[in-house]
Structure 1
């Protein structure tokens, strides 16, 4: 009688032969980093006192915007570091939480842009002669084109880099099936949290889809006037991602669905929960720090929807994290087996 053990995915990954950057990984990394350069350049210019790209010079000098620019520049610089970590061998030695948390936030912020901006821009161009960004809010049009095209490439690049990285560090995830996941000691808690998050997520998704389909209740007069096809597309995609994330998490926790791979529902839950949390948190911070001369404010409905999104996304993310940690712990337990 001998004892064999399944290694915990991620440990010893740095020693996997061929784990270094190949041509595909390097190409993805270069494209992703290059897509960050225009945004970082604009932010550095603004933090240095430049008003390039601004029509409203007073708005460019607002102190709240200065803080916001510093934070968003740091976030984009972090995206560069994440792309490098996904490409080179030293990234395999970073603790899992230090890798997964940033890419969860990045996926949540960039996924709606990757889907909604090309779709909304195309629909806006075909159906309306109005500006893609609605009424003038102080920025010149080319700024939006540069920033959001860069975000689109960043999103696609980080997603591709993460998949390549995950296949090296956690290969077992790609061969698992949802129905085969073991139910550990926290399974009852996972069910409770998943259903609770789904309730909050339903509220957020319905609100986003209501606004996407033309509803105006809960919006300010300025926002109603400034609604564009692109804005409708962003709301619609955000609502669908929230619903997909909550639904996929329930399928995983309940071990439901077809006996296929674990990756599709995990990816949907991952991106959906990240989009719900990060998008809602960003919206909430914008509401609280919005300069008075750029917009009149926000409504209670918008604030409550954003708060519900933050809570729903956070609970969904924590539930998924507990599930994965418990799965890895059980997979790593020694298993007795008979040998001749």
Structure 2
């Protein structure tokens, strides 16, 4: 077994273990609230609180299953499209957010502030927040190491090929839309107020999240455009694939998560929730980001690769994603 493969397998098991505390905490919140033994999060009724945490329990379970699929033999037999989609969304959620987790933790420590990593209850005990933060960071790091090793085992041609002349996957509109979304977010991240309805509601963490979203949108857009132009070497091809994968996944998952929240705030007008951005503009951007993310993924997995040496890229798994 190659060293890189051993590292990937250890990382997969580590990711599954790291997510376990988050899963147990969320289960305890649901059971405790139903039995009247645990408080309900601020701004929620019992039904909404149970629904939200049940959804996150399901997401944690999928994350643990994905981590194990990347290292166990049955993961190689699972449907390729299912593993790829879960890996894409998981990486988009967790790997892309790792810089924010590190920077926000440092900023909170510098200001002697408590970190609310879960985002569900501002009154959670400090040890719960620390465990949730550990779960997110551990899962993200584990996926970052285990996923490439799995992809290299299952679809080795993706690491030795570039987009061929017969590619049907180049989607320039998706990269262009992602670039526009990224530029708007970058403008907001540096303090721009056009399209911001409540500037006073913005804080440091909000700037960081917006800036990080802009970074991944622009990086993913640039990577997909370069790949579509077929101007890559073997080394740059791998880097561009990683940037395109994470950029498109970040656009799809985070905007897919925020879009229904933005629509709910716009329609229900809850008294205790105020978003800084103009809700109509934010909703349009999130919708555009979701569509661009899907289009960029189509560009990455719908290609017909050919090896740099000119040999055939045929493999038993070559058609699973196309």
Which TM-score band applies after superposition, normalised by the shorter structure?
0.7 to 0.9
Match of 2:204 among 213, 218, 229: 229
**Could you tell me how far 1:317 is from its partner in structure 2?**
1.0
Instruction: Check 1:137–1:280 CA distance in 2 against 1; reply closer, same or farther (3 A cut).
Output: closer
| Structure 1: gaps (5+ residues) | 1-17, 334-340
Instruction: Check 1:243–1:23 CA distance in 2 against 1; reply closer, same or farther (3 A cut).
Output: closer
Match of 2:248 among 261, 273, 283: 273
1: distance between equivalents of 2:306 and 2:83?
17
2: distance between equivalents of 1:174 and 1:114?
24
**8 Å contact 2:9–2:146 — kept in the other structure?**
no
Match of 2:188 in 1: 211
Match of 1:166 among 122, 142, 151: 151
Instruction: Check 1:209–1:65 CA distance in 2 against 1; reply closer, same or farther (3 A cut).
Output: farther
Instruction: Check 1:137–1:170 CA distance in 2 against 1; reply closer, same or farther (3 A cut).
Output: closer
**Could you tell me how far 1:61 is from its partner in structure 2?**
3.0
Q: Which has the higher contact order (CA 8 A, sep 6+)?
A: 1
Q: Does 1:76 align with 2:44?
A: no
**Could you tell me how far 1:132 is from its partner in structure 2?**
5.2
Deviations 1:148-205 (A, max 9, x none): 33111101101211122122222233233x3xx421162xxx34x2x21122112211
**Could you tell me how far 1:71 is from its partner in structure 2?**
1.8
Q: Does 1:156 align with 2:144?
A: no
Say which SS state the counterpart of residue 59 (structure 1) adopts: coil
Please show how residues 272-311 of structure 1 align to structure 2 within 5 Å: 272-289=247-264, 292-296=270-274, 299-311=279-291
2: distance between equivalents of 1:121 and 1:185?
43
1: distance between equivalents of 2:37 and 2:261?
22
Please show how residues 24-173 of structure 1 align to structure 2 within 5 Å: 24-50=7-33, 59-126=43-110, 128=111, 138-140=121-123, 142=126, 143-173=128-158
Please show how residues 305-324 of structure 1 align to structure 2 within 5 Å: 305-323=285-303
2: distance between equivalents of 1:225 and 1:131?
21
Q: How many residues are matched?
A: 300
**8 Å contact 1:107–1:159 — kept in the other structure?**
yes
Match of 1:327 in 2: 305
Instruction: Check 1:185–1:214 CA distance in 2 against 1; reply closer, same or farther (3 A cut).
Output: closer
**Could you tell me how far 1:217 is from its partner in structure 2?**
3.6
2: distance between equivalents of 1:216 and 1:249?
30
Match of 2:175 in 1: 198
1: distance between equivalents of 2:229 and 2:208?
31
Instruction: Check 1:207–1:149 CA distance in 2 against 1; reply closer, same or farther (3 A cut).
Output: farther
What value does the CA root-mean-square deviation take over the aligned residues? 3.1
2: distance between equivalents of 1:161 and 1:94?
16
Q: Does 1:256 align with 2:235?
A: no
**Could you tell me how far 1:258 is from its partner in structure 2?**
5.5
1: distance between equivalents of 2:190 and 2:19?
32
**Could you tell me how far 1:42 is from its partner in structure 2?**
2.1
Q: What is the TM-score of this pair, normalised by structure 2?
A: 0.81
Q: What is the TM-score of this pair, normalised by structure 1?
A: 0.77
Deviations 1:7-50 (A, max 9, x none): xxxxxxxxxxx59x986455323321121112111221222243
Match of 1:183 in 2: 165
Deviations 1:39-93 (A, max 9, x none): 1112212222438885x65634343343222222111111111111111112111
Instruction: Check 1:23–1:175 CA distance in 2 against 1; reply closer, same or farther (3 A cut).
Output: closer
